[in-house]
C-alpha cells in the first residue's frame, strides 16, 4: 500500500533539477518539518495526506469487520466440533465489539464511520465458503480447513490493526491507539486459540479420516 502513495517530499524530490540546488532544497524541507513539528502540525492535521491515508485504512478494516461478522455465524454452523463452533461464536461477539471500537475511533477523529470495500477480506471469506462447499458435513477435515481460513483472516486483521496502531501513535492519537490495541490483542489471542483447538482436537482425527 505504502509504495503507491507518494509523499509530498518524494514528489519534490522527483522534480529536483540541478544538482547544485539539492542542498538548498533539502535545507528548506527540513526547516519546514521542524516548524510543523514545533507547532504540532504533523500528520495530525485533518487535511494531511497521511491522516487521509490512515482514515482510508480504518474504512477498509471497518468494512472487513462488518463482512466478517456475517460470515462467522455461517462458519460456526458449518463446524463439526463443538470446540470450534464455540470459538466462532465467541469471535462473532468479539467482532461486534471490534466494529463498535472502530466507530468510537471515527468519532474521536471527528470522521464519519464509512465502510470501504475490502477486496482482501472479501477474498478470504470466499475461501472459507469454498472450504465449506468442498468438504463433507460432519468431518474433521472440514474443521481443519475452517481453521486454516479463519487464521488467514486473523492474520490479515493483525497486520491491519498493527499498522493502524503505529500510524495513530505517530500522530499522537493516544485514545485511538488504546482502542486499536485492544482489538489487536484480541485478534492475536483468537489466532492462538485457533491453533490450540487445531492441535488439541482437530488435526489428528482429520489426518485419520
Ligand atoms: Fe476483528
Ligand atoms: Fe478477528
User: What distance in angstroms lies between residue 157's CA and the mean position of ligand 2's atoms?
Assistant: 6
Residue 113 — left, alpha, or beta (φ > 0 → left; ψ -120 to 50 → alpha)?
A: beta
15 vs 35: CA distance, rounded Å? 23
Task: Name which residue leads in pLDDT, 153 or 45.
Answer: 153
Confidence of residue 209 (pLDDT cuts 50, 70, 90): confident
Instruction: Kindly report, residue by residue over 74-95, the tens digit of the pLDDT.
Output: 999 999 999 999 999 999 999 9
147 vs 81: CA distance, rounded Å? 11
Closest ligand to the CA of 125: 2
Q: How many residues does the chain have?
A: 209
- In terms of Cα–Cα distance, which of 41, 6, 14 is closest to 171? 41
Confidence of residue 127 (pLDDT cuts 50, 70, 90): very high
Name residues whose C-beta falls within 8 Å of residue 51's C-beta, 6 or more positions apart in sequence.
Answer: 43, 44, 45, 171
| Domains of the chain, first to last | 49-208 (1.20.1260.10)
Calculate what percentage of the chain has a pLDDT beyond 90.
76
Structural contact between residues 62 and 99, judged by C-beta atoms closer than 8 angstroms: yes
Structural contact between residues 121 and 159, judged by C-beta atoms closer than 8 angstroms: no
Rounded mean pLDDT of 112-116? 97
Closest ligand to the CA of 65: 1
21, pLDDT greater than 90: no
179-193 in b/e form (b: 16+ CB < 10 A) is: bbbebbebbbebbeb
Rounded mean pLDDT of 42-68? 88
3-state secondary structure of 80: coil
User: What distance in angstroms lies between residue 86's CA and the mean position of ligand 1's atoms?
Assistant: 16
Rounded mean pLDDT of 148-164? 98
69, pLDDT greater than 60: yes
- What pLDDT is attached to residue 45? 67
- What pLDDT is attached to residue 101? 98
pTM value > 0.85: no
Amino acid at each position: 500500500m505504502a509504495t503507491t502513495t507518494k509523499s509530498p517530499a518524494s514528489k519534490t524530490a522527483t522534480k529536483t533539477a540541478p544538482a547544485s540546488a539539492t542542498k538548498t532544497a533539502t535545507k528548506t524541507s527540513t526547516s519546514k518539518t521542524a516548524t510543523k513539528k514545533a507547532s504540532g502540525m504533523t500528520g495530525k492535521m485533518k487535511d494531511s495526506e497521511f491522516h487521509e491515508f490512515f482514515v482510508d485504512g480504518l474504512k477498509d478494516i471497518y468494512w472487513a469487520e462488518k463482512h466478517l461478522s456475517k460470515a462467522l455465524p455461517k462458519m460456526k454452523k458449518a463446524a463439526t466440533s463443538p470446540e470450534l463452533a464455540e470459538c466462532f461464536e465467541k469471535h462473532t461477539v468479539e467482532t461486534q465489539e471490534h466494529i463498535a471500537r472502530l466507530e468510537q475511533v471515527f468519532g474521536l477523529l471527528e470522521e464519519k464511520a464509512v465502510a470501504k470495500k475490502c477486496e482482501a477480506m472479501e477474498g478470504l471469506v470466499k475461501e472459507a465458503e469454498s472450504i465449506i462447499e468442498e468438504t463433507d458435513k460432519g468431518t474433521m477435515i472440514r474443521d481443519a480447513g475452517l481453521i486454516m481460513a479463519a487464521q488467514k483472516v486473523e492474520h490479515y486483521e493483525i497486520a491491519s490493526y498493527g499498522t493502524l496502531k503505529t500510524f495513530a501513535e505517530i500522530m499522537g492519537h493516544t485514545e485511538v491507539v488504546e482502542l486499536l490495541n485492544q482489538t489487536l490483542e484480541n485478534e492475536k489471542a483468537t489466532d492462538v486459540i485457533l491453533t490450540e483447538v487445531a492441535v488439541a482436537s482437530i488435526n489428528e482425527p482429520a489426518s485419520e479420516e
